[in-house]
Amino acid sequence: MFLISCPFCGPREESEFSYGHEGHIARPADPDSLSDAEWADYLFMRKNPKGWHYERWNHARGCRRWFNVARHTVTHEIRAVYKMGDPPPAIEP
Amino acid sequence: MTGYRVAGRGRVDPDARLRFIFDGRSYEGLHGDTLASALLANGVHFVGRSFKYHRPRGIMSAGVEEANALVGVDRGRGRYTPNTRATVLELYDGLTAESQNYWPSLRYDIGAVNDIAAPLIPAGFYYKTFKWPASFWNKVYEPVIRRSAGLGRAPTAPDADRYASRFAHCDVLIVGAGPAGLAAALTASESGARVILADENPEIGGSLLSDPAVQIDGKDAWNWLEEARATLAGRANVTLLTRTTAIGYYHQNFLGLVQRLTDHLPAAASSLPRERMWKVRAAQVVLAQGAIERPLVFDGNDRPGVMLAGAGRSFLNRYGVKVGNRVAVVTVHDSAYLAAFDLARAGAGVATIVDLRRNPRAALLAEARSLGIEVLSGWTVTATKGRARIAEIRVNPVDQNGKVGAARMIGCDALLMSGGWTPSVHLFSHSKGALDWREDLQAFVPGAPNEAVRCAGAGNGTFGLAAALAEGAAAGAATAGSAGTPTVFSVDGEAPFSGVYFRELPTDRDPTRAKAFIDFQNDVTAKDIRLAVREGFRSIEHVKRYTTNGMATDQGKTSNINGLMIAADAVGKPAPEVGLTTFRPPYTPTTFGAFVGYSRDAHFEVERKTSIDSWAEANGAVFEPVSLWRRAWYFPRSGESMHEAVARECRATRRSLGIFDASTLGKIEVVGPDAAEFMNRMYTNAWTKLAPGRCRYGLLLGEDGFIRDDGVIGRLSDERFHVTTTTGGAARVLATMEDYLQTEWPDLKVWLTSTSEQWAVIALNGPNARKVLEPLVQGIDLNGEAFPHMAVREGKICGVPTRLFRVSFTGELGFEVNVPARFGLSVWKALIEQGRPYDITPYGTETMHALRAEKGFIIVGQDTDGTVTPHDAGMSWAIGKTKPDFVGKRSLARPDMQDPKRKQLVGLLTEKPETVLEEGAQIVDGPYAAVPMPMIGHVTSSYHSETLGRSIALALIQGGHGRKGETVYVPMPGAMHKATITDTVFVDKEGAKLNV
Ligand SMILES: [Zn+2]
């Protein structure tokens, strides 16, 4: 079970959170201008890296805020936790 | 005093005699014994039969690694535990245990024929044999496999015990209270750090408990140990947990510890939990798990009386029991000599030490000579004899070239073996730490860690008492950073500790006929592993699964490395290249109860109840679970069946007045200057022009265009919406709204609040609804023109604030009375009183479902399944056509979403009006289509309609919208039903009943 540091509440058990999805995928501003392929890419295609992954979590059973997490998918190390809108921190591979 | 008890030895209390029963016979033991030591004190070695071949088995170890001596412990109804290791089962007065895997008796077992047939049951036997024909599976193979599969006998009664759990946080968690763990704890706790020290044994000490003669800091080991215990117990920052096993090591230094609280007590107070799960989050972890001795691999190494040398020493020094009167030893390692010497000094006859090494240490040889023990160095053991207990061993010299000479027989009643020691890296491996191969130890040791963890002592490959203490102290000091100084310990009388490693012992016999066991619990032999490799299995994970080596409840504690070395030899690669199988939690078998903890029966899941629930219960409601809610299903009067009750509730509602507790509806208050814009973006409908005081049916899609939720939404003011959701979807809808609001549109000034629990909702439906409501409502004009269908007003009812909705989920004149939850019950009761002249009838969810189906109103999740678009559901009207965007809009324009052959929601009327189709039944075009018959849809809702006096159904059918009037067929068990595709609205198609 992870220990996740909510940027608003501090470290809490994983059971208080729910995983969202890959982070930093902005919803297109004008979906109608996208081709079917472009829209499908936005809708369905996600990274599945072995290594660092930027992803969105929700403190669902806490402050209900969404935030970003940089997590290593092999070691499960959580290197950074940052608010929505903040840029992803650079992490050495 | 029984025949094998040695006076003055061990930590047992000679004055505390206990009676216990094993396989129906009564024996005597001492307080401090385990079942294993007490049985050995009575001369009992043969305690069970093996899993596959049903071979007689004895006690092979003195600890958690035990693979043979598994017993069932009976503590009364609901308290039977199979597969308990006798070596860790603490004796108490009245203990009742039984051996396993035999029929009809341990001594005369029918299944032992498997042993004679062993050549016919090689590795992968089940995979190879039980394949064809398919019909044999049900009738022949499965019953046979089921009868012979599994260890022991599963209990059948519900667990009568209670289990506890708790969270704990600490600076340093130390696993293992042997020398290394104690040194770490003493050092780490000096600085005031919060330390938890956990050990699976009843008392701390680890290997020191079996080694009383060694001296630490000038004191006898056991005196030093008592002082260490007192020191730690005296420190307020130290939590000392015995009988506590660290079962798993998870991410970010989260460990599960299971503490056994009552199993060692003859009669525990029922207020005590049996076990407690500690969920520990530690800043730093020190693992001092120790090492496990390796068996040697030779023909007959599993006979009762053959055991690990260290176990023989533990039984003597810790429990005061000699394991035999004529003991033989076979070893490749110095440590076995210590067992032989201790036993000889205790008066047990030690016949011979067979040492595979040609040149054992001179000091050991000299001591053996002085004790009158014969040492055969450069010899091997090639067989054992004896049925219920070992009686003889066959030994042969091995010359420099490895040639095995003529055999000689040696009589013995116990054989101690030592194949060296394997560091216990289980927990380190759980934490995904890398394992490094140590060629000198022929074992894996902890390498680069993946967590804030240090390893110390034998578990780190650091053998010897002085070295373990020093490494433990260093680990403890390091947890305190630069502030920590390792405590320095001095050790006297430490024994030599070195050895070599063998695969199978050399033999002059045909090795393919040898029963040389590697995994004792799963009956895997060396030749099984070689066979697996010959048959093409190269990966150790495949060899493991094919042979089942290491897959039993002991998880290969004594077999993994032996199995690996033999597999590596057979593959012709070095062991580290073949690799080790993955260790997985739990470290030792763990009760389900410990995992379940408090979460059973009523505590298994939250049961949500509305404020009106108590009235429903008092008035005979039958309940059904709906997500986490308990909802009134129907209200039978005495003697009524469910069908009769529902029919009566439907009639009453259509003809006069029904009352329904709709409090479970999800409710979200959407507030703010941008509330309408937010609603526009979330829901398919247009909200900008919805006037305050009006309602609209809202449809929520996923970004993929499929229906996710629905509900009536009222606009209370320009900046305030009262959103309702499905009962089960409330939390999900709120999470989705928060997701978009926080992550996509943080610029919108909108606030979301869950109000599901704040409002009680009472639905009044029926032609007389207004008449009942009018006298109770203040400040709202209920007249049909002033308060039309799909409107919302704020005012008072029975003197309490209300949000009154004029909506209908039944097609009748309907109102939904929202009042603060604390007034729900009193308003409900007032409405019931007011409704008496109209025979007001409470109805439950079944009637609600039937009435809405008559009107063709969908239930999201029943009539939709995550692949249904608004168009499929016949609800294109709910889409705001002029809106530039909303969640899911772009997906609706994808080509597949506009395919006319998509499954579309339609009504179905069966040819026979009394036929109620099964929900979920498949639909086909014709009864005689070729097999496999194309399935064109399925029934989503199906009821008897009391209003129409016949059955009705909703269904999703390919291209259904264009097939009205056509005939389809619904195969169900026993019959093929004919049905006509219709419109989804069965009652009052014009909606006339609403416009009153
Ligand atoms: Zn939070």
Among candidates B659, B667, B654, B665, which has minimal Cα distance to B621? B659
As given in the structure block, the two tokens for residue B254 are: 């989260």
Between CA B569 and CA B575 the distance in angstroms is: 8
Residue B927, phi then psi, degrees to nearest 5: -75, -15
With respect to residue B688, please indicate whether it lies within any of the assigned structural domains.
Answer: no
β-strand pairing of B95-98 with B244-250: unpaired
Q: What is the CATH number of the domain that holds B967?
A: 2.40.30.110
Task: Give residue B654's pLDDT.
Answer: 97
On whether any CB of chain B is under 8 Å from the CB of A58, the answer is yes
- Is the bond leading into B133 cis (omega within 30 degrees of zero)? yes
On whether any CB of chain B is under 8 Å from the CB of A30, the answer is yes
Residues B108 and B230 in one domain: no
On whether any CB of chain B is under 8 Å from the CB of A82, the answer is no
Among candidates B294, B308, B118, B88, which has minimal Cα distance to B201? B88
Among candidates B116, B52, B57, which has minimal Cα distance to B389? B57
Distance B594 CA to ligand 1 centre (A): 30
| A75–B450 C-beta distance less than 8 A | yes
As given in the structure block, the two tokens for residue B106 are: 């341990």
Where b means 16+ CB within 10 Å and e means fewer, B791-815 reads bbbbeebbeeebbbbbbbbbbbbbb
Percent of all residues in chain B with a pLDDT value above 70, rounded to a whole number: 95
Return the DSSP state at A88. Answer: P
With respect to residue A17, please indicate whether it lies within any of the assigned structural domains.
Answer: yes
Q: What is the CATH number of the domain that holds B345?
A: 3.50.50.60
Helices B540-547 + B560-571 axis angle, to 10:
120
Distance from the Cα of A2 to chain B's closest Cα (Å) equals 6
Residues B178 and B72 in one domain: no
Indicate if the pLDDT at residue B437 is higher than 80. yes
Percent of all residues in chain B with a pLDDT value above 90, rounded to a whole number: 85
With respect to residue A93, please indicate whether it lies within any of the assigned structural domains.
Answer: no
What is the three-class DSSP state of B579?
coil
Among candidates B880, B942, B934, B886, which has minimal Cα distance to B914? B942
Task: Give residue B148's pLDDT.
Answer: 54
Among candidates B420, B467, B509, B486, which has minimal Cα distance to B190? B486
B492-531 per-position pLDDT tens digit: 988 888 999 988 999 999 988 899 999 999 899 999 999 9
On whether any CB of chain B is under 8 Å from the CB of A18, the answer is yes
Residues B15 and B138 in one domain: yes
Number of domains in chain B: 4
Task: Give residue B126's pLDDT.
Answer: 59
On whether any CB of chain B is under 8 Å from the CB of A5, the answer is no
With respect to residue B450, please indicate whether it lies within any of the assigned structural domains.
Answer: yes
Between CA B26 and CA B932 the distance in angstroms is: 66
Task: Give residue B602's pLDDT.
Answer: 87
Distance from the Cα of B746 to chain A's closest Cα (Å) equals 9
Residues B477 and B401 in one domain: no
Where b means 16+ CB within 10 Å and e means fewer, B590-622 reads bbebbbebeeeeeeeeeebebbbbebbeeeebe
> Nearest chain A Cα to B256, which residue?
A1
Distance from the Cα of A3 to chain B's closest Cα (Å) equals 6
Q: What is the mean pLDDT of chain B?
A: 94
Query: pLDDT category, B133, cuts 50, 70, 90?
Result: low
β-strand pairing of A52-58 with A18-22: antiparallel
| B746–A3 C-beta distance less than 8 A | no
With respect to residue B455, please indicate whether it lies within any of the assigned structural domains.
Answer: yes
Residues B265 and B327 in one domain: no
| B894–A36 C-beta distance less than 8 A | yes
With respect to residue B808, please indicate whether it lies within any of the assigned structural domains.
Answer: no
β-strand pairing of A52-58 with A66-72: antiparallel
- Is the bond leading into B801 cis (omega within 30 degrees of zero)? no
On whether any CB of chain A is under 8 Å from the CB of B703, the answer is yes
Domain boundary among B156, B175, B199: B156
Contacts with B703 from chain A: Cβ below 8 Å: 27, 43
Residues B449 and B346 in one domain: no
Between CA B787 and CA B109 the distance in angstroms is: 84
Among candidates B473, B466, B12, B588, which has minimal Cα distance to B208? B466
B175-198 per-position pLDDT tens digit: 999 999 999 999 999 989 999 999
Q: What is the mean pLDDT of chain A?
A: 94
Task: Give residue B1's pLDDT.
Answer: 47
With respect to residue B61, please indicate whether it lies within any of the assigned structural domains.
Answer: yes
Return the DSSP state at B242. Answer: -
| A66–B742 C-beta distance less than 8 A | yes
With respect to residue B691, please indicate whether it lies within any of the assigned structural domains.
Answer: no
Distance from the Cα of B872 to chain A's closest Cα (Å) equals 20
| B703–A66 C-beta distance less than 8 A | no
Task: Give residue B115's pLDDT.
Answer: 74
On whether any CB of chain B is under 8 Å from the CB of A12, the answer is no
β-strand pairing of B950-958 with B935-945: antiparallel
**Mean pLDDT (whole number) for B772-792:** 96
Indicate if the pLDDT at residue B123 is higher than 90. no
A47-65 per-position pLDDT tens digit: 999 999 999 999 999 999 9
Structural domain for A76, as ranges:
3-83
Residues B239 and B173: beta-carbon distance below 8 Å = no
Residues B188 and B149 in one domain: no
Alpha-carbon radius of gyration of chain A? 15
Domain boundary among B370, B397, B418: B418
Between CA B699 and CA B860 the distance in angstroms is: 10
Distance from the Cα of B627 to chain A's closest Cα (Å) equals 18
**Mean pLDDT (whole number) for B66-80:** 94
**Identity of the amino acid at B742:** Q
Interface test with B, best of A27, A36, A59 (most B CBs within 10 A): A27
Among candidates B659, B663, B622, which has minimal Cα distance to B830? B659
Residues B443 and B406 in one domain: no
> Nearest chain B Cα to A21, which residue?
B739
| A30–B743 C-beta distance less than 8 A | no
Residues 6+ apart with CB under 8 A from B147: none
Helices B465-479 + B179-188 axis angle, to 10:
30
Between CA B633 and CA B757 the distance in angstroms is: 20
B926-951 per-position pLDDT tens digit: 888 788 889 999 999 999 999 999 99
With respect to residue B862, please indicate whether it lies within any of the assigned structural domains.
Answer: no
Structural domain for B351, as ranges:
322-418
Residues B734 and B759: beta-carbon distance below 8 Å = no
β-strand pairing of B349-355 with B374-377: parallel
Between CA B176 and CA A11 the distance in angstroms is: 28
Domain boundary among B138, B156, B174: B156
**CB-nearest partner of B743 from A1, A18, A56:** A56
Residues of chain B numbered 275-294 and touching chain A (CB < 8 Å): 279, 281
Return the DSSP state at B318. Answer: H
Among candidates B847, B853, B796, B849, which has minimal Cα distance to B819? B796
Residues B124 and B181 in one domain: no
**CB-nearest partner of A66 from B432, B738, B894:** B738
| B746–A60 C-beta distance less than 8 A | no
Residues B145 and B35 in one domain: yes
Q: What is the CATH number of the domain that holds A34?
A: 3.30.2270.10
The single residue listed with the structure tokens 């600076």 is: B171
As given in the structure block, the two tokens for residue B453 are: 């963890």
| A30–B885 C-beta distance less than 8 A | yes
With respect to residue A91, please indicate whether it lies within any of the assigned structural domains.
Answer: no
| B735–A18 C-beta distance less than 8 A | yes
B393-415 per-position pLDDT tens digit: 999 999 999 999 999 999 999 99
Distance from the Cα of A28 to chain B's closest Cα (Å) equals 9
Residues B344 and B255 in one domain: no
With respect to residue B573, please indicate whether it lies within any of the assigned structural domains.
Answer: no
Contacts with B279 from chain A: Cβ below 8 Å: 1
Detail the DSSP E strand segments found in B426-564.
435-438, 443-446, 453-455, 491-492, 517-519, 524-525
Query: pLDDT category, B118, cuts 50, 70, 90?
Result: low
State ipTM.
0.96
Distance A79 CA to ligand 1 centre (A): 18
Distance B702 CA to ligand 1 centre (A): 25
Indicate if the pLDDT at residue B138 is higher than 70. no
Among candidates B231, B646, B235, B286, which has minimal Cα distance to B451? B286
B915-925 per-position pLDDT tens digit: 999 999 999 99
- Cα pseudo-dihedral B544, B550, B556, B561, rounded to 10: -20
Distance B745 CA to ligand 1 centre (A): 20
> Nearest chain B Cα to A63, which residue?
B738
Task: Give residue B125's pLDDT.
Answer: 62
| A40–B894 C-beta distance less than 8 A | yes
Contacts with A60 from chain B: Cβ below 8 Å: 735
Distance A81 CA to ligand 1 centre (A): 12
With respect to residue A9, please indicate whether it lies within any of the assigned structural domains.
Answer: yes
Number of domains in chain A: 1
Q: What is the 3-state secondary structure (H, E, C) of B893-958?
A: CCHHHHCCCCEEEEEEEECCCCCCCCCCCEEECCCCCCCCCCEEEEEEEEEEECCCCEEEEEEEEE
Interface test with B, best of A44, A76, A78 (most B CBs within 10 A): A76
Q: Provide the CA B861 distance to its chain's centre, in angstroms.
A: 29
Residues B909 and B950: beta-carbon distance below 8 Å = yes
**Mean pLDDT (whole number) for B593-614:** 94
User: Other C-beta atoms within 10 Å of B299: how many?
Assistant: 24
Distance B824 CA to ligand 1 centre (A): 33
